[in-house]
Amino acid sequence: MAGSGRRGILVVEDDTDLRQLFSLMLSAADFDVYEAADGPTGLRVLEDNPEAIHLVFTDLGLPGLGGVELITRVRAARPGVKIIGTSGLGSAGVREIVLGAGADEFFPKPFAIADVIEKVKTLTR
């Protein structure tokens, strides 16, 4: 994984199946993928791999530390890291909250994985 010269993506998602599926798809798209099941672990993985992670893809409904707070902390600690938030919440204001917290993009669930991967490619160029 690390040291391959590929772009690193941190996937922070508490749904194991979704996290593994998305990680598999990103790996197939030639990214190095790091995983975390909750916000605190996501921060720790980011801190442990400061040069390897170029984008954080995070759900909002995370245990331990919510996705909006995670986005805020990532943006403060690593301003150059790109961030994509996602949520199944139906509120019309969620996108604005996520972008206001510092995310570069927001995808409501359900989303087409191909659309997200295309956006990841664009943001990590």
Average pLDDT of the segment spanning 15-40:
96
Angle at 2 between CA 121 and CA 16, to 5 degrees: 70
Alpha carbons 53 and 102: distance in angstroms, whole number: 17
Q: What is the pLDDT of residues 76-85, one digit of tens each?
A: 999 999 999 9
pLDDT at 2: 45
Q: Supply the mean pLDDT for the chain.
A: 93
Alpha carbons 110 and 91: distance in angstroms, whole number: 14
- Indicate the Cα dihedral angle 41, 32, 19, 96, nearest 10°: 80
Average pLDDT of the segment spanning 36-58:
97
Whether pLDDT at 24 is above 70: yes
Q: Are 48 and 1 in contact (CB under 8 A)?
A: no
pLDDT at 3: 45
Q: Which domains does the chain have, with CATH numbers?
A: 8-123 (3.40.50.2300)
